[in-house]
Amino acid sequence: MQSKYLHQGGSPPVAIVGMAVRLPGGVRTEDDFWQFLIEKRDGHCEVPKTRYGVDGFYNVQDDRYTHTKHGYFLPEDPAYFDAPFFSLSEQNASSMDPQQRLHLEVVWECLESAGEANWEGKDIGCYVGVFGEDWLGLSYRDPSSIDRSHPLGTGGFSLANTISYTFDLPGLR
């Protein structure tokens, strides 16, 4: 069976109806993002003390160390997450990669922004591009922190799955 859009030589119609964002520089809304662009701001900042002790990795004289104390960080504490809001146990949420928790919050805001109320069970696909799996490597350094839900909460492969499961988005059929 061939798509009617391919047969007609066109593309299916696409509409962006909702938006949510989190970016370095304190960007949390579409308006923040717009102002950020208009003012030509930069989200570059010092590594927050709550992330890691950058001084232990900084040495401009030695190539085995980092040569900067700066980067692009979200200002929110990645440990804060309202697990009950997403019907998750505290144990399950604490073993989740912070990227997963952040994605859940941003997807919720995106659906809210779209004004969509009846998405559950609809043919909605969820696709996530992931770069960096720091949490996966870091979490295996402390074997005592690994529980049965650990594999589901770590690794880029599970980001789209977690969103699809939590919001009941079965994908395109």
Model confidence at 137, pLDDT cuts 50, 70, 90, reads low
Local confidence band at 98 (pLDDT 50, 70, 90 cut-offs): confident
Q: What is the mean pLDDT of residues 155-162?
A: 79
Judge whether residue 146 has pLDDT over 60: yes
Parallel/antiparallel/unpaired status of strands 70-72 and 44-46? antiparallel
- Any idea which residue has 């989200």 for tokens? 43
Looking at the predicted structure, is the pLDDT value of residue 64 above 70? yes
pLDDT at 132 over 90: no
Look up the pTM and report it: 0.76
Is the Cβ–Cβ distance between 23 and 116 less than 8 Å? Answer: no
**Residue owning tokens 């928790």:** 101
87 pLDDT band (50/70/90 cuts)? very high
